[in-house]
């Protein structure tokens, strides 16, 4: 396949998207991973993991919001809608700071691939109402837990008026899907610059910064463009002091690099639709 022959706004080759995951699990559910390497016996609720994940909405998201504010950058924040019930002040803080709020389903254990169509439609409606109510902002994007949609998810989101979804990993650049005359932009999610390896494999936080810098060098050496670099953090992982320190260094680098457009996923979707219509 030939390289695309267009550029991002401002004739920039690189779009950097700062994804922040503000996640929570349903009552009585715990994350499947945690800082402890020794799992509890089956059927035992891991309260340590629940407490670890709760850090994101209690402390981590605010530290990350401060980092973005210092550099005038905006993020796309994936929010579990259950947090609009538990900690609406955290959801409102994200919206008030000017970041994009997108739905990350109701909770991390509420996965579209496990739902029947009517159940999934109700989940989309519920999440939309909760997040819009808490933030005062329209929700136009969706990314499922694990980025794992059902066969119906893109169509149901298009029917619900969503502009984009991120449950695809099959390309480098966004593309448009059409369902009964309704369009929705599919924006692939990349995992090359992500804080999860620090959690899962014990990588030092500075390795995320190094991965970002290596991406920029590769793109410069090969004169690639247009490209998207997803820079993904979790408020309960890199919202902690040391991880946030290196995440802010990435924000600072992106903000000071002339060939980078710091974009939200919604801005990329709107650019994609406009370019298609004009083309």
Span 200-228, pLDDT tens digits: 878 899 999 999 999 999 998 888 779 99
Does pLDDT of 70 surpass 50?
A: yes
Structure confidence at residue 132 (pLDDT)? 98
Q: What tokens appear for 278 in the block?
A: 């004009």
pLDDT of amino acid 109: 97
Q: Is the pLDDT of residue 1 over 90?
A: no
Residue carrying the six token digits 């800082």? 35
pLDDT band at 277 (very low <50, low <70, confident <90, very high): low
Percent of the chain topping pLDDT 90: 87
Report, as an integer, the average pLDDT of 37-51: 91
7-36 pLDDT, tens digit each: 999 999 999 999 999 999 999 999 988 888
Q: Pick the closest to residue 65 from 87, 101, 94 (CA basis).
A: 94
CA–CA–CA angle 57, 60, 65 (5° rounding): 100
The closest alpha carbon to 197, from 232, 146, 230, belongs to 232
Is the model's pLDDT at 93 over the cut of 50? yes
> Can you spell out the DSSP letters for the chain?
-PPP---BGGGBSEEEEEEEEE----TT---S--S-SSPPPTT---HHHHHHHHHIIIIIHHHHHHHHHHHT---EEEE-TTHHHH-HHHHHHHHHTTPEEEE--SSTT--GGGS-HHHHHHHHHHHHHHHHHHHSS---EE--GGG---SSHHHHHHHTT-SEE----S-SS-EEEEETTEEEEE-----SEESHHHHHH---THHHHHHHHHHHHHHHHHT--SEEEEEEEETTTTTSHHHHHHHHHHHHHHHT-TTEEE--HHHHHHHHHHHHHH-
Question: Is pLDDT of 231 > 50?
Answer: yes
pLDDT at residue 201, rounded to an integer: 79
- Output the pLDDT for position 34: 86
pLDDT at res. 224: 76
Q: Which residues have CB under 8 Å from 261's CB, separation 6+?
A: 8, 9, 10, 12, 14, 15, 16
Res. 254: pLDDT tops 70: yes
CA torsion angle 93 31 233 106 (round to 10): -50
pLDDT at 2: 57
8 A C-beta contact, residue 260 and residue 213: no
- The answer on pLDDT for 279 being more than 70 is no
pLDDT digits (tens, 9 = 90+) for 175-202: 999 999 999 999 999 999 999 988 887 8
Helices 117-135 and 88-96 sit at what angle, rounded to 10 degrees?
70
Residue 39, φ and ψ in degrees, nearest 5: -70, 150
Distance CA 262, CA 18 (A): 8
Average pLDDT over residues 37-50: 90
Within 10 angstroms of residue 147's Cβ, the number of other Cβ atoms is 14
Q: How far apart are CA 164 and CA 138, in angstroms?
A: 13
CA dist 267 and 256 (Å) reads 20
Predicted local confidence at residue 223, as pLDDT: 83
């Amino acid at each position: 396949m030939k390289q695309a022959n267009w550029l991002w706004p401002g004739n920039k080759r690189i779009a950097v998207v700062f994804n922040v995951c503000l996640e929570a699990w349903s009552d009585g559910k715990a994350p499947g991973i945690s800082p402890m390497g020794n799992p509890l016996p089956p059927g035992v609720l891991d309260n340590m993991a629940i407490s670890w994940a709760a850090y994101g909405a209690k402390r981590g998201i605010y530290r990350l919001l401060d980092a973005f504010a210092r550099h005038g950058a905006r993020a796309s924040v994936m929010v579990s809608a259950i947090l609009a019930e538990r900690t609406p002040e955290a959801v409102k803080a994200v919206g008030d700071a000017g970041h994009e709020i997108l739905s990350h389903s109701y909770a991390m254990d509420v996965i579209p691939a496990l739902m029947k169509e009517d159940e999934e439609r109700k989940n989309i409606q519920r999440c939309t109402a909760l997040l819009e109510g808490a933030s005062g902002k329209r929700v136009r994007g969706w990314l499922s837990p694990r980025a794992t949609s059902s066969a119906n998810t893109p169509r149901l989101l298009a029917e619900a008026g969503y502009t984009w979804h991120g449950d695809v990993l099959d390309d480098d650049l966004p593309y448009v899907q059409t369902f009964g005359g309704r369009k929705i932009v599919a924006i692939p999610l990349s995992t090359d610059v992500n804080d999860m390896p620090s959690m899962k494999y014990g990588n030092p936080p500075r390795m995320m910064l190094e991965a970002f810098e290596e991406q920029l060098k590769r793109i410069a050496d090969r004169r690639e463009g247009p490209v998207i670099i997803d820079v993904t953090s979790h408020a309960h992982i890199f919202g902690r002091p040391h991880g946030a320190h290196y995440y802010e260094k990435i924000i600072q680098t992106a903000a000071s690099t002339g060939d980078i457009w710091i974009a939200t996923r919604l801005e990329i979707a709107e650019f994609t639709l406009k370019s298609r219509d004009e083309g």
